[in-house]
């Protein structure tokens, strides 16, 4: 039997899931692609300016500046941490452009190459729990900063598990701020017709649990994939699990 509080239809009407790192193991792919893109950029910049090459840290830098945020926000956040100024550019910038959007698009191209080659694997415990929740009549949604959300869900074959999707493409179109702002989660709850205090947020990123806490949601569950339990709690998680199978009533 799980030692965590049960998520029941008596207490909650919906559960809102992050995608990368919660439903699918694509967070690892994102981290690898961010490192490859930034290291190439930093190495070339060092050659041009004479500055020492300090590689992108896929642990510290990724979690602190990039993970869970909209793509271009992640680029800006990391560049700011290094004191590097680049023009914002435009979302239509080619991946070769020396702009925040250009770098973001360069990373996106790398990610899609890996997704097309390898597909997207799901976390079995999360999928089983999501099916159990739906069996109890609860609503579910995916809330992701990724503009690749739809293609990842299709590659993983999990579109049928969710009543709503709020992702980076939709947020940009509707001009909704991304995580750590709570707006995407609040919009998903609104689409499901549920109040935030009657909804659960499930996140593996610090920016995501921050969003859940800021939105006044009834429960924020942190999923600890990389030994970040303490940081997840400090940033807003009410409880932390290593696998959402822990939430099953077994």
Q: Find residue 221's DSSP bridge partners.
A: 202, 239
Q: Which helix (H) or strand (E) holds 186?
A: helix 183-192
> Distances from the Cα of 240 to the Cαs of 84, 134, 201, in angstroms?
35, 22, 12
Cα 68 from Cα 65, distance rounded (Å): 9
Query: In the annotation, is 11 catalytic?
Result: no
Spot the catalytic one: 13, 20, 67, 93: 20
CA distances from 120 to 111, 112, 114, 183, 197 (A): 11, 11, 9, 27, 32
d(CA 155, CA 116): 9
Distance CA 91, CA 105 (A): 8
In sequence order, the 6+-apart residues with CB closer than 8 A to the CB of 135 are none
Identify the active-site residue in 11, 13, 18, 238. 18
Signed CA dihedral, 11, 13, 148, 174: sign only: negative
Active site residue 167: no
Contacts with 174 (C-beta within 8 Å, 6 or more apart), sequence order: 187
Where in the sequence numbering do the catalytic residues fall?
Answer: 18, 20
């Amino acid at each position: 039997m799980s030692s965590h509080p049960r998520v029941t239809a008596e207490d909650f009407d919906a559960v809102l899931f992050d995608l990368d790192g919660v439903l699918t193991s694509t967070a690892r792919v994102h981290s690898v692609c961010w490192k490859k893109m930034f290291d190439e950029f930093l190495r070339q910049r060092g050659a041009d300016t004479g500055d020492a090459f300090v590689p992108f840290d896929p642990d510290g830098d990724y979690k602190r500046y990039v993970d869970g945020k909209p793509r271009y926000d992640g680029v800006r956040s990391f560049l700011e941490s290094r004191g590097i100024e680049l023009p914002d550019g435009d979302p239509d910038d080619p991946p070769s452009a020396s702009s925040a959007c250009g770098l973001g698009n360069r990373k996106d191209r790398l990610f899609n190459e890996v997704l097309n080659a390898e597909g997207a694997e799901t976390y079995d415990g999360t999928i089983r729990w999501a099916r159990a929740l739906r069996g109890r009549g609860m609503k579910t949604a995916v809330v992701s900063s990724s503009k690749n959300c739809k293609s990842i869900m299709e590659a993983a074959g999990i579109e049928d598990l969710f009543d709503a999707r709020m992702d980076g493409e939709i947020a940009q179109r509707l001009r909704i701020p991304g995580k750590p702002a709570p707006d995407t989660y609040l919009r998903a709850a609104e689409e499901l017709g549920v109040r935030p205090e009657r909804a659960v947020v499930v996140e593996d990123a610090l920016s995501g649990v921050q969003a859940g806490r800021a939105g006044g949601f009834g429960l924020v569950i942190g999923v600890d994939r990389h030994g970040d339990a303490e940081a997840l709690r400090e940033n807003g998680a009410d409880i932390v699990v290593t696998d959402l199978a822990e939430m099953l009533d077994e």
